[in-house]
Each structure stands twice: as C-alpha cells, then as structure tokens.
Amino acid sequence: MENDTNQLSEDLRDIEQRFKKEIEPYRSDLWRYCYKLTRSPWDAEDLVQDTLFKSLAVLAKMHQPVKMKAYLFKIATNVWIDRYRRIPYAVLPLEEELQPDHSSEFDLELVDHLEFLVQHLTPHQYVSFLLAEAFRFKASEIAVMIATSEGAVYTNLSRARSVLRKTRRKQAQSMPIVDLVQNTPLDILIKGFRNKDPELIASVLNEDVTVNIVHAGIEEGRDEAKRNSLNDWKEVVDTQHDIVAEYKMLWGKEVVVEMERKSNGELYLNNLHVIETVGGEIIHWNFYCFSWDLMKHAAKELDIKLNATYFYHIF
C-alpha cells in the first residue's frame, strides 16, 4: 500500500508541475489581482495559494478547454467573495448623490485608496472595477467570472467610477517595519542562519515540524527537513558572503528576514521565514523564496535588492 501511495504522489507531482508550467505566464498578474482584492501581501499570498489549489482540483472535473488567465481570475474572485459572505459586510453610503460615469481613465497603479473603495462598494462592484480597469478584461468576460449579466457589470463599473471620482486621493500608508526583541528559539534560528549552520537550525525544530516551502512542497518532520530544505539551503548560502538575519514586523506579521551582505556592503533579500513555536521548539515553518511576487514586494518594502533571481523561479 505504501508503494501505491508513493506512486500516486509521484503522478500527482508530475501533474502539478504541468499545471504550474501552464499558469506561470499569468502568475504575477494573479498575485497583483489578489493583492488588490485583499490589500495585504500576506493575504494575497494566501489567496493565490488557495486559488491554485482549487483551480487544479476544479480543472480535473472540467470537460472543455478554458482560457487559463480568465479561469484563474474567476477562481480567485469566487474564493474572495465566498470569504466576504462569511464575514458581516456593510457598504458605507456616501454623503452625496452620485451621477453615472461611463468613462474609463483610471490607472490602478496610481489608485492609492482601495481601502476606501472596498468599504463603499459591494464585492461584485469592487471586483468588476479591478478586473476592468487594472487587468483589462471585457465586460462579457467579467460577467462570466462573477456569474452576472453584462448590463450588471456596466452598472457595477458606473458605481465604482463614480465613487472613485468623489474620493480624495490619499497617500498609501504601509505597515511599518519594526525590529523586534529576539528570543529563544528564534535567537538560535537566527544564529544558525548567520553561521550557515543547518545543524544549529535543526536543533530547534520539533521532531514533527511541518515545513511549508510555499509553492514548492511540504516536509513533515525534522529529519525530512534536514535531508531536503536545509541541505538545499546550505548549498546556496555556502556560495554567498555574509548572511544577515533579523527578526522584524513586516506588514503586520512577525518574520525572520534572511539576507546576504555582499562584498560591496549592500544587502540582498534571500528569504522570508514565518515561524510558529511551542515549548521552545519550532513546530511550523513557512518560507517564501519561491513566492516571487511576494519577495519582490518585500524587497521594495525593506529597501534592499532581491538576491539570486534564479533561486526563486521554479521553472
């Protein structure tokens, strides 16, 4: 039976690799869309993961070809709207009557008040606006994605554009990057990074630790992590100069930021690590080196460069 499951796992990994190759051209657009929906890099990453898992599962049940980009955006939209249905959602009224506006002249890269829009629009109005203005989908395509009519899409866009015209543009405020007080076992983890010492890192891993290499794989247990991800990490850092690891608050989440200080003194981002500890041991460990768009966003937020481009691409 174990051999049967091993073969099944291998077959599924082959299918997942084929799927990733198919969606790779649209992955950054999908991440940007999820970021616009959630307005949080961490939540965007979670939404992308959920979208990819669900889209692969649903695809197995479909018997007709799909346009991959529209298909991925549709799944992401539905997942996001479903989440809102589980949360009390109130659309705040504006003080003055809004006149319909059918123009299309908004650059979403310049819109810095999506938080305001999501508070004053229904989920369908909000996603209609994003899909049309940021990602240039046609009304007919949007109608299919959100299961409505073209006329309803035009109504959603009119409302969204009118709200936007009544909004005073505000400078976007990002969550501050705050240095945190380190403590064991994170002190040991950070020391292990700095010393390029996988054995020291492994010493604070719980025997049954779950290591999630986001978008690449999951390892169960300390021994599996030592054989695979820690071994791979060691091969990479041995080719690098000084490793700098710091514990910070990034976009509201506590993370270990792993960087390389090159010979010219400049810092380059290697990885982001999110750690969960119990009783002095790490029981859950996420790292994001394969989360290409999140890593680019983090490097910009930290005001450093992004390291070893090849390392982050699965293909």
Decide: 270 and 260 in contact? Cβ < 8 Å: yes
Q: How many CB atoms lie within 10 A of CB 156?
A: 26
The span from the CA of 92 to the CA of 282, in Å, is: 43
CATH code of residue 289: 3.10.450.50
Q: Do 156 and 225 reside in the same domain of the chain?
A: no
Position 9 scores a pLDDT of: 79
pTM: 0.71
Position 293 scores a pLDDT of: 92
Q: Which of 165, 193, 226 is the last residue of a domain?
A: 165
Residue pLDDT, tens place only, 73-107: 999 999 998 877 665 444 445 444 434 344 444 44
The span from the CA of 125 to the CA of 138, in Å, is: 15
Examine residue 303 and state whether it is found in any structural domain, yes or no. yes
Q: Do 26 and 155 reside in the same domain of the chain?
A: yes
Mean pLDDT of 187-215: 93
Q: Is the pLDDT of residue 109 over 80?
A: no
Domain that holds residue 133: 2-165
Region of 293 (left: φ > 0; alpha: ψ -120 to 50; beta: rest) is alpha
Q: Do 155 and 19 reside in the same domain of the chain?
A: yes
Tokens 């009783």 — which residue? 279
The proportion of the chain whose per-residue pLDDT surpasses 70, expressed as a percent, equals 80
- The total domain count for the chain is 2
CATH code of residue 150: 1.20.140.160
Q: Which of 165, 186, 212 is the last residue of a domain?
A: 165
Q: Do 220 and 132 reside in the same domain of the chain?
A: no
Residue pLDDT, tens place only, 131-175: 888 788 888 889 888 888 888 888 888 888 777 766 644 433 445
Examine residue 170 and state whether it is found in any structural domain, yes or no. no
Examine residue 171 and state whether it is found in any structural domain, yes or no. no
Q: Which of 118, 143, 165 is the last residue of a domain?
A: 165
